[in-house]
């Protein structure tokens, strides 16, 4: 049950205040990164590939660029948020407080997801400086952003509990998430790949996430929107199941 709203608000406010102290750095980084991607991909590659289907290449890469950044920001914010109490030892005070595991999860994941959505919105606004991006389903696009942020923040929460050092916090994002995102059609359509590679790419779960988000922009994707939403739902359920097990067993929380 959720009843300790004051505790949720306190942790959420603390995490957002930490974000506020580095707001301009957090704001500047995605703007610079987005600009560099558009200079490299939009100018160098876009000049040789004017469109993907009937979508200009500059606009085509916007959903993939947003997802790439939101994946990493969600994982980083959520994992760091729960790892710091473990590192400082204050996690024991929270576990013995009147807050339930669900309330702790809502506070930490809610704050991390809020930061991720803000960064995604900044990238979307920055993209308009370079290309004209039309969104076919704006409400669904916003809902998909929130859903993706929450899902990957849950994943980051798991990584933060699992990690036993600051170096381990970076292992999964750098060695797993980044490569899967680049190979998942963030900057190209998988229909452009040879048949064998296209079949292999369909085993990459990130393909379904990026494709679903791209569908909300252009009313088209590499896979059906229903399949994409199903993949997100399955990943969300798996993350929740793992977190439930972690709090039930105390894995790397109570020792």
Is the predicted pLDDT of residue 179 greater than 80, yes or no? yes
Q: How many helices (H) and strands (E) does the chain have?
A: 11, 2
Strand runs labelled E in the chain: 51-52, 55-56
* Maximum average pLDDT range among 15-19, 234-238, 247-251: 234-238
Please tell me the distance from the alpha carbon of residue 87 to that of residue 226, in angstroms, as a whole number.
41
pLDDT class of 7 with cuts at 50, 70, 90: confident
- pLDDT recorded at residue 52: 79
User: What whole-number percentage of the chain has pLDDT above 70?
Assistant: 95
- pLDDT recorded at residue 94: 85
Instruction: Find residue 55's DSSP bridge partners.
Output: 52
Is the predicted pLDDT of residue 237 greater than 60, yes or no? yes
Whole-model pTM?
A: 0.91
Is the predicted pLDDT of residue 1 greater than 60, yes or no? no
Task: Give 19-53 pLDDT, tens digit per residue.
Answer: 888 777 777 777 787 778 877 776 666 666 667 77
- pLDDT recorded at residue 50: 67
Q: Which of 71-85, 88-102, 157-171, 209-223 has the lowest mean pLDDT?
A: 88-102
What value does the mean pLDDT take over residues 74-94? 90
DSSP 105-165: HHHHHHHHHHHHHHHHHHHHHHHTTTS----S-HHHHHHHHHHHHHHHHHHHHHHHHH-SS
- pLDDT recorded at residue 75: 93
Please tell me the distance from the alpha carbon of residue 23 to that of residue 16, in angstroms, as a whole number.
10
Q: Residue 29's CB: how many other CB atoms inside 10 A?
A: 15
Task: Give 128-168 pLDDT, tens digit per residue.
Answer: 888 888 899 999 999 999 999 999 999 999 999 999 988 88
Please tell me the distance from the alpha carbon of residue 118 to that of residue 16, in angstroms, as a whole number.
11
Phi first, then psi, for residue 118 (nearest 5°) are: -60, -45
Q: Residue 70's CB: how many other CB atoms inside 10 A?
A: 23
Mean per-residue pLDDT of the chain: 87
Our CA angle for 82, 73, 221, nearest 5°, is 130
Each domain of the chain, given as residue ranges in start order, spans 5-249
């Amino acid at each position: 049950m959720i009843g300790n709203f004051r505790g949720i608000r306190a942790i959420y406010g603390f995490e957002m205040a930490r974000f506020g102290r580095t707001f301009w750095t957090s704001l500047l980084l995605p703007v610079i990164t987005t600009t560099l991607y558009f200079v490299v991909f939009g100018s160098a590659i876009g000049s040789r590939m004017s469109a993907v289907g009937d979508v200009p290449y500059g606009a085509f890469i916007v959903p993939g660029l947003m997802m790439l950044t939101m994946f990493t920001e969600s994982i980083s914010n959520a994992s760091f948020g729960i790892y710091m109490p473990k590192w400082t030892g204050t996690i024991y005070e929270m576990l013995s407080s009147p807050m339930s595991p669900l309330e702790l999860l809502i506070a930490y994941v809610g704050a991390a997801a809020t930061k991720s959505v803000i960064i995604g919105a900044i990238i979307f606004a920055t993209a308009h400086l370079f290309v004209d991006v039309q969104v076919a389903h704006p409400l669904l696009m916003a809902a998909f952003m929130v859903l993706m942020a929450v899902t990957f923040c849950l994943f980051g929460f798991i990584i933060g509990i699992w990690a036993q050092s600051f170096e381990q916090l970076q292992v999964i994002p750098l060695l797993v998430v980044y490569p899967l995102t680049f190979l998942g059609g963030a900057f190209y359509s998988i229909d452009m790949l040879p048949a064998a590679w296209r079949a292999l790419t369909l085993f990459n779960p990130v393909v379904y996430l990026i494709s679903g988000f791209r569908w909300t922009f252009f009313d088209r994707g590499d896979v059906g929107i229903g399949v994409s939403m199903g993949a997100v739902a399955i990943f969300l359920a798996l993350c929740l199941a793992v977190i439930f097990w972690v709090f039930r067993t105390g894995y790397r929380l109570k020792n």
